Amino acid sequence: MRAVLGLLGAVVVLGVFSSVVRTLVLPRPARSGFTRAVRATLYLPFQAVADRCRTAAAKDRVLAPVAPMSLLVTLVLWLASFMVGYALLEAAVSDLGPKAALMEAGSSLFTLGFASSSRSALTAVDFCAAATGPIVIALQIGYLPALYGAYARRETAVTLLQSRAGSPPWGPEILARHAQADLLDSLQELFGDWERWSAEVAESHTTYPVLIHFRSARDTRNWLVSLLAVMDAAALHLAFNPTLPQTQVRLALRAGFVCLRDLADVRGIAYDADPSPGDAIELDEATFLQGVERMREQGFPMERTPERAWPHFKGWRVNYEALAYRLAHDIDAVPAPWSGPRRTTSAIMAPVTPVDRRPVG
């Protein structure tokens, strides 16, 4: 019986230690079943409430605490699991009962010292437990600045995009606003910034997958919808104006769908790695023409007609549409034009578009 308790305790301690290392220490994508199970379990009741909300703003308020709260719950469950695992080891090397073993393990794990034993076998387990508690807490404390630093950098670009893309953002709105304000020359800089942004998000959100569920400070903003808007703007730019400089636009577009594929790999989402430009997409031509009309109203230059540009736009969008729609559905992103369905039927929020007023005379 003691051998079984010892084996079970070792499995628990080593399993939780593996989860801690994969989540907090390893600087590369490493899936932890423990942390995924915690997040999924915590997510269910909040999502059930959010599904009953009638507005996107109410849904966002319900879902906003889930990801940060999962960090705290994960730490508590790590420590609780370590305490159970060390208690099993304590019981395996002594004649302590369940209550006494838990007290011995808890006293050592949290370095309280109110329960101790002079037995050498127990002392060895106590030393291991005493080292584990502070190390796990210190790692979690060091983990939070890196996590929130990556979140802040992500949200800075999302907030800056609001004046260029509406709120919530929309691909045609980016091109329309730049044409309206005579800022078409700055599009190359925008696409360059979002190429770097996509690379950074791919790195941080695969290393710390919980960031995928961190929501923006305002319910009309979302990192995924912003990325989709920039990618749509790039695809529209390439489809309508083939003779204009394309290098930076193509790089931004490619960085965007590579980012989405990296996130899909972490979440275990299947996708076509080599889609054909002729494959079907969910966005229909009538909806596409509505966006084109918004661009035309504001004077965006178009070398191709919408009919000729549509196949080219489809050929670009097929690379990222399905993944963007799937992730937007999974995280219940703000409903926005050209961003696919959500878990529950919600009115699509049209981008708020201020008029660029200029002095006359």
DSSP string of 11-23? HHHHHHHHHHIII
pLDDT for res 116: 57
Give me the residue spans of the domains in the chain. 2-141, 157-331
Check: CB of residue 171 under 8 Å from CB of residue 317: no
Q: Which residues of the chain have pLDDT under 70?
A: 112-122, 345-361
Contact (CB, 8 A) for 283 and 318 = no
Q: Residue 52 has which token pair?
A: 């009953």
Question: What backbone phi and psi angles, to 5 degrees, belong to 356?
Answer: -80, 95
Q: What is the pLDDT at residue 330? A: 93
The residue type found at 173 is E
H and E: helices and strands count for the chain = 13, 0
The pLDDT value given to residue 361: 45
Rounded to whole angstroms, the Cα distance separating 194 from 207 reads: 20
Short-list 255, 248, 238, 251, CA closest to 312: 238
Q: What is the pLDDT of residue 212?
A: 94
Question: Hunting for tokens 């409903």 — which residue is that?
Answer: 335
Q: Which two tokens stand for residue 13?
A: 């301690």
Which pLDDT value is given to residue 163? 84
pLDDT of residue 242: 93
Long-range contacts of 265-272, Cβ-Cβ distance < 8 Å, separation of 24 or more = 265/29, 265/206, 266/29, 266/31, 266/205, 266/206, 266/209, 267/209, 267/212, 267/327, 267/330, 268/31, 269/323, 269/326, 269/327, 271/322, 271/323, 272/322
* Joined tokens for residue 106: 């808890």
* Residue appearing with tokens 């990325």: 227
Taking CA 183 as the corner, what is the angle to CA 163 and CA 335, rounded to the nearest 5 degrees? 35
- Length of the chain in terms of residues written: 361
The amino acid that residue 147 corresponds to is L
Token pair 């004077």 in the structure block, residue: 299
d(CA 162, CA 158): 7
pLDDT tens digit sequence for 223-244: 999 999 999 999 999 999 999 9
Specify the pLDDT at position 115.
53
- Helices 98-109 and 120-165: angle between axes, nearest 10 degrees: 60
- DSSP assignment letter at 55: S
Supply the pLDDT for residue 359: 47
Phi, psi dihedrals of residue 308, rounded to the nearest 5°: -75, -30
- Taking only the tens place, the pLDDT of each residue in 207-221 is 999 999 999 999 899
DSSP 271: -
User: What tokens does 75 get?
Assistant: 């730490």
**Cβ atoms < 10 Å from Cβ of 62:** 18
Structure token pair of residue 238: 């390439």
